[in-house]
A and B are shown apart, each in its own frame.
Chain A
Amino acid sequence: DGGITQSPKYLFRKEGQNVTLSCEQNLNHDAMYWYRQDPGQGLRLIYYSQIVNDFQKGDIAEGYSVSREKKESFPLTVTSAQKNPTAFYLCASSQGQGGETQYFGPGTRLLVL
């Protein structure tokens, strides 16, 4: 079955540590996205990529980094510069440009120890 997988489901970060969230899709979609979800705030765009080897900052990119070396994969690194990383992180993909239907993975919940 085609879809988007995210791992791990839960992730714990220690002070000063970088952690990486995985996102893989087998839908053959060109575009991929990372969103952060906090209670009562909806989803906010962190980074997006419309093609391999290219990505753009979203609205809240500070403290995060991404790579897009393969069409199927779009990992997100939460760096130590992100002072408030506790949130639910959602990865999505779409066939065309950003205004098209997006399909979401199951999410990763990041907690700070």
Chain B
Amino acid sequence: AQSVTQLGSHVSVSEGALVLLRCNYSSSVPPYLFWYVQYPNQGLQLLLKYTTGATLVKGINGFEAEFKKSETSFHLTKPSAHMSDAAEYFCAVPGAGRRALTFGSGTRLQVQP
């Protein structure tokens, strides 16, 4: 079954610095890949979605993700971090039998002033 691995449970950057959050998928190219963001005590909000054939996917709030088949990766980036980006970020992929999504364990992003 497909799974995703997020490297780094906590990432800290300075305001204005590059944000890089890592996600690797497990095996064959999935039909979809997702990045979600969760602010404290809230539900998850879709940041962006990869569909087959795309390489660079643009999302909301200035985030984008690059799909690299050779590296089985779908890392999330933002050129310049803002204080409001502090949140937890989850990578997800359709699970076994496409019955639901399988989520990574999450990366908490801290933005230092």
Contact = CB atoms under 8 A, between A and B. Distances in A.
Interface of A: 4, 6, 33, 35, 40-43, 45, 48, 50, 56, 58, 88, 90, 92, 97-107, 109
Question: 10 smallest A-B Cβ distances: which pairs?
Answer: A99-B94, A104-B43, A99-B98, A98-B100, A98-B99, A42-B105, A104-B44, A42-B103, A43-B103, A106-B43
A45 B95 contact: yes
Contacts, number: 63
Nearest to A88: B41
A45 B42 CA distance: 18
Contacts of B44: 43, 90, 92, 104
B46 A103 contact: yes
A42 B104 contact: yes
B6 to A, nearest CB: 8
Contact of B98 (A40, A88, A97, A101): A97
Interface of B: 9, 31-32, 34, 36, 41-46, 49, 90, 94-95, 97-101, 103-106
B45 A48 contact: no
Given A42-B90, A98-B95, A99-B101, 10 more contacts: A40-B106, A42-B106, A45-B99, A48-B100, A56-B99, A58-B100, A98-B97, A101-B34, A102-B100, A102-B101
Contacts of B106: 40, 42
Contacts of A104: 36, 43-45
Nearest to B4: A42
A100 B95 CA distance: 11
B103 A107 contact: no
B25 to A, nearest CB: 13
